[in-house]
Structure 1
Amino acid sequence: MIIPTLRATKRTFEICNERFGNEHHRSNQANAFRHALWNILICRNTLKRTKNKQKSVFWAQKVGDLYESVTQNKKLDEAMDLHNNAVGRICFFNLLDKNEDEIVDFTFKKMEFAQKVSNIKEMKRFYNEMVFIEE
Structure 2
Amino acid sequence: MNVWNVIRGLSIRQIFRLARILILQPLLIYPTLKATRQTIKVCDLLYQKKHHKNGKANAFRHGLWNLLICQRTFRVTKSREKSIIWAKKITDLHEKLAPNDPLETAMDLHNNEIGRAIFYAMIDNSEEEMIAVLKENTKNAKKIIEIDSILDHKKDLVYLSED
Q: TM-score range by the shorter chain?
A: over 0.9
CA shift for structure 1 position 105: 1.6
Q: Which runs of 5+ in 2 are unaligned?
A: 1-27
What is the match of residue 95 of structure 1? 122
Deviations 1:25-84 (A, max 9, x none): 000000000000110100000001111100000000000100000113111111100000
Letter of the 1:61 partner, please give it: K
What is the Cα-based RMSD across aligned positions, in Å? 0.8
Q: 1:96, CA displacement in angstroms?
A: 1.2
Partner of 2:81: 54
Larger Rg: 2
Give the structure 2 partner of residue 114 of structure 1.
141
Gap runs ≥5 in structure 1: none
TM-score (norm 1): 0.97
With 21-30 and 70-79 compared, the bigger mean Cα shift is at 70-79
C-alpha separation between the residues in 2 aligned to 1:102 and 1:13? 19
- Using structure 2 for the length normalisation, give the TM-score: 0.81
The list of structure 1 runs, each at least 4 consecutive aligned residues, that deviate by more than 4 angstroms after superposition, is none
Counterpart CA distance in 2 for 1:67 and 1:119 is: 22
Equivalent residues, number: 135
Query: For the Cα contact (< 8 Å) 2:118–2:130, is it kept in 1?
Result: no
Any residues of structure 2 matched to 1:31-70 within 5 Å, and which?
31-70=58-97
Secondary structure of the 1:93 match is: helix
- Offset, 1:97: 2.1
In the alignment, what sits opposite 1:82? 109
**% same residue:** 39
Q: Greater relative contact order (Cα 8 A, min sep 6): structure 1 or 2?
A: 1
